[in-house]
Amino acid sequence: MGKVVFKTGDDISTDIIYPGRFMATVLPTETPQYAFADDADFNKKLKSGEFTPNSIIVAGQNFGCGSSREQAASCLKGYGLVIVAKHFSRIFMQNSINLGLQTVICPDIEANEGDELEIGDNFVLNKTTGKKFNSEPLPKARQAIIDAGGLIPYTKALLMKRAGK
């Protein structure tokens, strides 16, 4: 369960999530400081540690559209955020999987900042309003990569298992 800490509309581009002027910063340990940098209030709350891991951003259609910059996913993962969106852009979704960012596709989600959400395997329950929404589970292979923390940890674990270690 998590609390909705930010709500966006449709077509939130990677430039809104991680502005291009910070592209020289690529280390996952450094990218979080620039998450939603042009929304000074939300960025300040993120950087101050006001939100706990598993806090939720609720988004509309086409979240993460625009460029293929993976920093847009890594800056959000750095805060342990969960993104619940009606739809994700294809490249952002793949970057999220590769980096282990928790994403939930929920086409009919209705939630506002401050609402408490419970995320299940095939649903999102808004505990504040009592409304339950169907979600679209990722294929098992993609979910396994997210659960492992991203493609690199997943691959390492797979190789270690095959080596018998």
**CA triple 56-17-10, angle to 5 deg:** 75
Exposure letters 5-20 (e unless 16+ CB within 10 A, then b) = bbbbeeebbbbbbbbe
Supply the DSSP string of 37-90, one letter for each residue. TTSHHHHHHHHHT-S-TT-EEEE-TTBTBS---THHHHHHHTTT-EEEES-B-H
Q: Which residue has the tokens 């800056």?
A: 75
Query: Going by C-beta distance under 8 Å and a sequence separation of 6 or more, which residues neighbour residue 15?
Result: 66, 67
Considering the entire predicted model, what is its pTM? 0.94
What is the distance between the alpha carbons of residues 155 and 137, in angstroms, rounded to a whole number? 22
Q: How many residues does the chain have?
A: 165
Separation of alpha carbons 105 and 123, rounded Å: 9
Per the DSSP assignment, residues forming a β-bridge with 84 are: 58, 104
Note the pLDDT tens digit of each residue in 12-34. Answer: 999 999 999 999 888 888 999 99
pLDDT tens-digit series, residues 37-60:
999 999 999 999 999 999 999 999
pLDDT for residue 165 is more than 80: no
The mean predicted confidence, pLDDT, of the chain is: 95
CATH superfamily, domain 2-162, is Aconitase, domain 4 (3.20.19.10)
Q: In what order do the strands lie in the sheet with 102-105?
A: 102-105, 82-85, 56-59, 2-7, 116-119, 123-126, 131-134
